[in-house]
Amino acid sequence: MFVELLMFFATFLISYYLYLHYKIHDFFRKRDVKFVPGIPLFGNMFQTFISKKHFWEDVDAVYRAFPDEKYVGFIEGTVPAIIIREPTLIKAITVKDFDHFVNHRDFFNRDIVPLLASSLIQMHDDRWRDMRVTLSPAFTGSKIKQMLPFMTEISKNLVDYIKEHPSNESNVDDLVRRYTVDVIASAGFGLEVNSVKDRDNEFFRMAANLFNFNYKQKIMHFVTAQCPIISKISNVKLFSQETMDFFKNTVQDTINYREKNNVVRPDMIHLLMEATKGTLKDSGNEKDNVGFAATEEGLKSRNVTREWSANEITSQVFIFFAAGFESSAGVITMCIHELALNPKIQEKLYQELRDYKEEHKTLTYENLSKLKYLDAIVSETLRKWSVAIFMDRVCSKPYVLPPPREGGKPCQIRPGDIVYNMVNSIHMDEKYYPNPEVFDPDRFSDKNIADIKPTTYMPFGIGPRNCIGSRFALIELKVLVTDLVLNFKILKSKNTSDPIRLLQGDFNIKAVGGTYVKFEART
């Protein structure tokens, strides 16, 4: 009897997914949208699932399959999505017609990962608008400026550690993640942590647990994304309860202590406490120049005051941590890797930084705009190694896309349909960036920057749903790169991969084999 039931269940699942598979194909055929037929259950992501390709490579293969189309079909597991290839269409969806595409796709079930599901990234409609307006004053230049001293102190800790531990080879992935953890611990949670000395501190250990996905967790994430009902019934947990409880308790204990003892520290928890009470005000239309990649806030308040729960505040600090740790670490690591592979670029940067230091002594928020070559290097790193991959949007109002090609027919987008506005594939498209594999900061020089076509450079997204923390990320990156280049020559070592290839089977930006370099002290 058990065998018969098992066979019936297996037959039912196979039949269901075959039905779903061909239903997805019909989704594109009926709309006259070209697509690459997928593998049942895995869609166009099979190579990622079996760790043969990075996720972006699977997406990019579909992007490049139809070079003359404005948009094409992509099958993410059992979910159909329309990849938008045309920059003018991307701008229409993310800016001009934003009200039709306000929300992100729900990548995390609220019951399975409540901290992520209640964060700004996963909030919907008016609730998202109100939280975004509430938080925006905390991410202005004047507020991020107050966190610069935290970053410089932590960067100094890392430089001192490298000097005290000379080696023929350093693991940049590890060093940079310790830097980003310490920055978030200080600027986000108000905690003083030195992860290069106290290597097994609880904060770093919990952060590492959060993002160190094993194969079992990858399967679990796939299940939660593709089969939310099954994952809910089976009580699948993507992250350990210990890790979730640690961050939740850390935030709430810190808030309770500060309220009880009237403690004020210019960090993210303090700013969020002010924001949720309505006492944090925008500084006005302040203009700064922390980098070409920085985004601008384009959302206006609805003049609605909400009460935010302790769990919702915790979720915002948590997502600030998650983005600031792994995403920032990936970009910083790739920047250091590229500098090791391009010594002439590194030397030119050193000359700019040395001249700056002779004139200004220390790095200040106001003077960042003077380091133009540093910004060009950062901008080029974000072009070539953006963590965004695409800007996902879910249709909330009926929408009509223009024909995908000359002679084609318009495409009806219905509420619930998903579009992926491409980022990395456009950044690496020869049509917009000649020789895209070449690391060339001069693309972002004063002479050439005007030639960059609108909506072909989007490392932090565009429109009202862009990355709220772009300034923080840029400063965090520039502080460390400045200190490293001023103090060391960053050289290739025996394990420095050249060229850089993305780690297969991953969603994060990491090099195959990791990033290893030699730090040689400058004299």
Residues in binding site: 467
Amino acid identity of residue 258, one-letter, is R
475 phi/psi in degrees, rounded to 5: -65, -45
221 phi/psi in degrees, rounded to 5: -65, -40
CA angle 441, 477, 252 (to 5 degrees): 155
Question: Is residue 423 within 8 Å of 390, Cβ to Cβ?
Answer: yes
Question: Is residue 419 within 8 Å of 93, Cβ to Cβ?
Answer: yes
Rg (CA), the chain: 23
SS3 of 426-476: HHCCCCCCCCCCCCCHHHHCCCCHHHCCCCCCCCCCCCCCCCCCHHHHHHH
The total of other beta-carbon atoms located within 10 Å of residue 116's CB is 20
Question: Is residue 483 within 8 Å of 148, Cβ to Cβ?
Answer: no
Of 384, 401, 406, nearest to 73 (Cα)? 401
Phi-psi region of 61 (alpha: psi -120 to 50; beta: other; left: phi over 0): alpha
Alpha-carbon distance of 29 to 32, in angstroms, equals: 5
Number of Cα atoms under 13 Å in the Cβ half of residue 253: 9
| Residues annotated within a binding site for heme | 467
Of 387, 384, 389, 385, nearest to 433 (Cα)? 384
Alpha-carbon distance of 245 to 506, in angstroms, equals: 26
The total of other beta-carbon atoms located within 10 Å of residue 46's CB is 16
Q: What six digits make up the tokens of 130?
A: 């109100």
Alpha-carbon distance of 243 to 31, in angstroms, equals: 44
Q: How far is CA 476 from the centre of its chain?
A: 14
Alpha-carbon distance of 103 to 115, in angstroms, equals: 18
Question: Is residue 493 within 8 Å of 348, Cβ to Cβ?
Answer: no
Spatial CB neighbours of 238, under 8 Å, sequence gap ≥ 6: 108, 112, 113, 217, 220, 221, 224
DSSP string, 252-293: HHHHHHHHHHT---SSHHHHHHHHHHT------S----S-TT
Q: Using N-to-C axis directions, what is the helix angle for 125-135 and 268-277, rounded to 10°? A: 120
